[in-house]
Chains A and B, each alone.
Chain A
């Protein structure tokens, strides 16, 4: 390990810090976007049994497409340049939605029918019932999905380095070109640390916002 290299790149060009920030933006924007898309979509799917099977199967196929293939093919659809960060963000949003919708569907399906009926019997309208009764009960499962997608997004961003845009993944490319393993190790350590950090943060938010989910499936 060349510790000087790390010190140089932290102090002068601030390369590592810049890449770290970019990495977080590229990995977390899709999580937020996908959560906003997946909650209503997943709720709708959970209420329509006929569509749910084929749609979830389709999402499964989408999820099996390698990320690099999507990074390369998206400029064609979006009309962006190949090096546009938007390609990475959109590609990861697609994956995240494909995975999160399943969690949202599972979450809403896990709400006991009696609970829903009780809310109805108490005179709650459909909107209020969904927002104040079903959603809070579905959220623990959604959070479990959220942790999975956040961790895998943070790791996946680095694949973009193959086409020249991978934030911390660019350290891998650099190390490979120079036959010098310090940047590679730094990249791996930072990515794993970020993933664990955000996994813990989401768990913390869940504990604080959903105290009833303690001990729920992780």
Chain B
């Protein structure tokens, strides 16, 4: 049995339940739920990080989030709300909130206190500090939170197939139901979702790296600039 037979058959790529459509559904679930989670988690994380309050809540949440079985949460939401796009996206968004929240809060809280104090001394308001000082410093960590959340969601969206939803997990579940002959189909689902996850990881990882480099370069330029202002150097 050639395990790649399902992937290599052009017929399996087209049509309303073909590979392209399943990839589209998977990406739709993932993007929608990460965006929804970001909409909630980023403002909350900014608030917690900026005010430096509620740390215990954040660290407790990040520990508890790791212990919650993603499949269980998804299945519970679908059982209570019925299947369809909305419950799946909602359940995935709930899973995506903790990593974004924790990293955003850490980024804003960890912003260089020297820079924050300097901004305050210049008479910046709280909002100006958030926008112009803390945000640029926190962006790499916020992206890293979005990266963890996206990975979590891409992986869990596979499991959504068990709840009669679409996405790449469909191939795994449908293949499983076909018995031993369905293995190429299961394998196709596994390979595609692994590829998608690795692409997302490398993409957002690269973005984070580029942003980190940019902040690094700015601070290096500033240092050089400051160095020229010192008496006796240059």
A residues within 8 Å of B by Cβ? 60-61, 64-73, 75-76, 82, 148, 151-152, 154-156, 158-159, 161-164, 166, 168-169, 172-173, 175-176, 179-181, 184-185, 187-188, 191-192, 195-196, 199
B6, CB-defined interface residue at 8 Å: no
Q: What is the total of A-B residue contacts with beta carbons within 8 Å?
A: 137
Please name the 7 residue pairs, one residue from A and one from B, whose CB atoms are nearest each other, closest first. A66-B155, A195-B67, A72-B190, A64-B201, A69-B190, A69-B194, A188-B72
Contact (Cβ within 8 A) A176 B163: yes
Taking a contact as CB atoms closer than 8 A, the residue among A82, A155, A159 that contacts B66 in the complex is A155
Majority secondary structure of chain A interface residues (helix, strand, loop or mixed): helix
Of the residues B64, B161, B200, contact of A162 by C-beta under 8 Å: B161
Once A64-B197, A155-B70 are accepted as A-B contacts, the answer to whether A73 and B187 lie under 8 Å apart by CB is: yes
Q: In the complex, are the beta carbons of A69 and B67 less than 8 A apart?
A: no
State in angstroms the CA–CA spacing of A65 and B190 once bound together. Answer: 9
- Nearest B residue to A192 by beta-carbon distance? B67
Residues of A within 8 A of B67 (CB): 151, 154-155, 191-192, 195-196, 199
Residues of B within 8 A of A (CB): 3, 63-64, 66-73, 75-76, 78-80, 151, 154-155, 158-159, 161-163, 169, 172-173, 176, 183, 186-187, 189-191, 193-194, 197-198, 200-202, 205
- Kindly report which residue of chain B lies nearest to residue A65, judged by CB atoms: B194
Complex formed: what's the CA distance from A158 to B76 in Å?
14
Closest-by-CB residue of B relative to A195 is B67
Flag if A162 contacts B193 (CB, 8 Å). Answer: no
The CA of A148 and the CA of B63, in the complex, are separated in Å by 9
Q: With A61-B201, A64-B197, A72-B186 as given contacts, are A162 and B79 in contact (CB-CB < 8 Å)?
A: no
Contact, CB under 8 Å: B66 / A161:
no
Whether B155 contacts A68 by the Cβ 8 Å rule is: yes
Cα(A60)–Cα(B159), bound, Å: 22
- With A68-B159, A72-B186, A151-B63 known, 15 other A-B pairs at CB within 8 A are A60-B201, A69-B189, A69-B190, A69-B194, A70-B190, A71-B190, A72-B187, A72-B189, A73-B194, A148-B66, A155-B67, A156-B69, A158-B69, A187-B72, A188-B72
The docked-state distance in angstroms from the alpha carbon of A69 to that of B190 is 4
Name the residue of chain A whose CB is nearest to the CB of B83.
Answer: A176
A191 close to B69 (CB less than 8 A): yes
